[in-house]
C-alpha cells in the first residue's frame, strides 16, 4: 500500500474515532414533556382567588405525574397567601398584585404564571343599562360609587332623574383584584366602600341577584370558561376614559373572553387594570418537588391556563421565568 493511501486511511480512522468519542450537545428542553425525575414530598399553596382554580388543576395534573407528591391549594386571597408564606404556613403563595416594599424586603421571590384583568360589572337588567352602555362610566363616576361615605343614587352619577340607590359591592378579603381596582382611582383597597363580599364567586352572585348592583371582579369570573361568553345577568361596564360621555371603539366592553385576552396583549384595556398573576416563595425554591411543580406550570401546565379563563404567558415570559428558576 502506498504511503499516500496509508496516510489517508489513518486520517479517516482518526476522524471516525473522534466522532464516536465526541459528547453530544445538550438537547434543548421539551417544554411539553413532563419530567421523568422521581419526586416526593408535600407542600401548601395559598393565596389569590384569581389563580386558585388554575392552581388546583395544575396540582391535580402534577400529582398524577408524580404520585409521591402531595399539594394542597388554599383559596385565601393574595394578602393572606403572603401572610401564610411569611408565617411558614405555606411554601408557595398565589399573588395577583405587585409586591409591597415590606414584602420585597422580606425576601419574597416571584415568577409570572399567567395574566389577568379586573372589570367593573353591573346587572344586565340594570334600569340604566342603556345609558351605561352608550356613555360608559368615567373614573370620576366610578369613584363616586366606590368611595362615597353615604349611599349614592344612580341618577346623581349618571345625570338622570333616577332616584334608585346603587348597591355597591367590594371585597372583604385581602384580594389583589381590590388593590388593582382601587389603584385605578389612586386609592387603596381599604378605601373602597360598599357591601363586603368574600371572593369573586360571591361577588358575581351578588351582582346577579340585584338589578341595582355594581361591583368588580377578575375577567376569568365574569365569563363562562367553556363557552367564553359572559355569565348570565353580568354586564361589563365600558370606561369613558376620555370623559366625552360616549363609548368609543377602544372603550367598548368585551363580548367574550377571547376579546378580553386580546385586549390585554394589545394594550387596549387600561394597563393599570391588568396584571401578572404570580407564584412566590420566600427566597428562590430549593425543594426539588416545588421546583419540578413550577417547571411544569411554565411548560405543559400553560395548556390549562386558557381553560380556566386566564390569559397565557408568551414565550418571552416563559423563558424568563424558567431561567430565573435555574
* Domain layout of the chain by residue ranges: 41-115+275-325, 117-274
What is the pLDDT at residue 36? 59
User: Could you tell me the three cell numbers for 123?
Assistant: 346587572
- Asked whether 273 and 117 are in contact (CB, 8 A), the reply is yes
Query: How would you class 140 by CB atoms within 10 Å of its CB: exposed for 0-12, middle for 13-18, buried for 19 or more?
Result: exposed
User: Could you tell me the three cell numbers for 77?
Assistant: 386571597
Distances (CA, A) of 28 to 37, 67, 302: 17, 26, 18
- The CA-based diameter of the chain, rounded to the nearest angstrom, is 110
Helical spans, DSSP H, in 101-183? 101-105, 129-135, 139-147, 154-158, 176-183
Q: Torsion-angle region of residue 53: left (phi > 0), alpha (psi -120 to 50) or beta?
A: alpha
Q: Which CATH superfamily is domain 41-115+275-325 in?
A: Periplasmic binding protein-like II (3.40.190.10)
Q: What is the pLDDT of residues 100-121, one digit of tens each?
A: 999 999 999 999 999 999 999 9
Give dist(CA 240, CA 243) in Å, integer: 5
- Asked whether 177 and 218 are in contact (CB, 8 A), the reply is yes
E strand or H helix that includes residue 288: helix 288-297
Give dist(CA 15, CA 34) in Å, integer: 37
Distances (CA, A) of 41 to 98, 252, 295: 30, 48, 16
Q: What is the pLDDT of residues 138-166, one digit of tens each?
A: 899 999 999 999 989 999 898 887 789 99
- Asked whether 212 and 229 are in contact (CB, 8 A), the reply is no
E strand or H helix that includes residue 27: none
- Asked whether 150 and 165 are in contact (CB, 8 A), the reply is no
What is the pLDDT at residue 265? 79
Grid cell 496509508 in the structure block, residue: 6
What is the pLDDT at residue 290? 97
Q: What CATH number does domain 117-274 carry, 1.10.10.60, 3.30.465.10, 3.40.190.10, 3.10.50.40? A: 3.40.190.10
**One fold for both 41-115+275-325 and 117-274?**
yes
Report residues of the chain scoring pLDDT below 50.
1-35
Q: What is the DSSP letter of 37?
A: S
Chain-centroid distance of CA 192 in Å reads 22
Give dist(CA 222, CA 235) in Å, integer: 8
Residue 266: φ, ψ to 5°:
-85, -5
Residues 293-326 as b/e (b if ≥16 CB within 10 A, e otherwise) read: bbbbbbbbbbebbbebbbbbbeeebbeebbeeee
Amino acid at each position: 500500500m502506498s504511503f499516500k493511501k496509508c496516510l489517508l486511511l489513518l486520517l479517516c480512522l482518526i476522524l471516525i474515532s473522534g466522532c464516536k468519542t465526541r459528547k453530544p450537545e445538550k438537547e434543548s428542553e421539551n417544554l411539553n414533556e413532563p419530567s421523568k425525575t422521581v419526586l416526593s414530598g408535600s407542600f401548601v399553596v395559598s393565596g389569590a382567588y384569581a389563580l386558585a382554580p388554575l392552581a388546583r388543576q395544575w396540582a391535580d395534573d402534577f400529582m398524577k405525574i408524580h404520585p409521591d407528591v402531595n399539594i394542597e391549594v388554599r383559596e385565601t386571597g393574595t394578602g393572606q397567601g403572603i401572610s401564610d408564606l411569611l408565617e411558614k404556613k405555606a411554601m408557595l403563595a398565589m399573588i395577583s398584585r405587585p409586591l409591597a416594599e415590606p414584602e420585597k424586603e422580606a425576601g419574597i421571590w416571584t415568577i409570572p404564571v399567567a395574566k389577568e384583568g379586573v372589570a367593573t360589572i353591573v346587572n344586565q337588567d340594570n334600569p340604566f343599562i342603556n345609558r351605561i352602555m352608550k356613555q360608559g362610566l368615567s373614573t370620576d363616576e366610578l369613584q363616586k360609587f366606590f368611595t362615597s361615605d353615604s349611599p349614592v343614587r344612580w341618577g346623581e352619577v349618571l345625570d338622570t332623574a333616577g332616584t334608585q340607590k346603587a348597591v355597591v359591592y367590594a371585597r372583604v378579603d385581602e384580594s389583589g383584584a381590590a388593590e388593582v381596582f382601587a389603584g385605578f382611582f389612586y386609592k387603596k383597597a381599604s378605601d373602597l366602600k360598599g357591601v363586603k363580599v368574600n371572593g369573586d364567586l360571591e361577588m358575581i352572585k351578588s351582582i346577579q341577584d340585584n338589578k341595582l348592583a355594581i361591583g368588580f371582579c377578575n375577567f376569568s369570573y365574569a365569563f363562562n370558561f367553556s363557552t367564553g361568553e359572559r355569565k348570565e345577568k353580568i354586564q361589563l361596564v365600558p370606561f369613558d376614559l376620555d370623559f366625552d360621555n360616549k363609548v368609543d371603539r377602544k372603550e367598548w366592553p368585551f363580548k367574550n373572553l377571547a376579546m378580553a385576552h386580546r385586549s390585554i396583549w394589545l394594550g387596549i384595556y387600561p394597563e393599570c387594570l391588568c396584571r401578572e398573576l404570580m407564584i412566590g416563595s420566600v427566597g428562590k425554591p430549593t425543594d426539588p418537588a416545588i421546583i419540578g411543580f413550577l417547571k411544569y406550570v411554565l411548560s405543559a401546565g400553560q395548556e390549562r391556563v386558557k381553560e380556566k379563563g386566564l390569559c397565557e404567558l408568551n414565550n418571552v415570559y416563559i423563558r424568563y421565568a424558567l431561567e430565573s428558576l435555574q
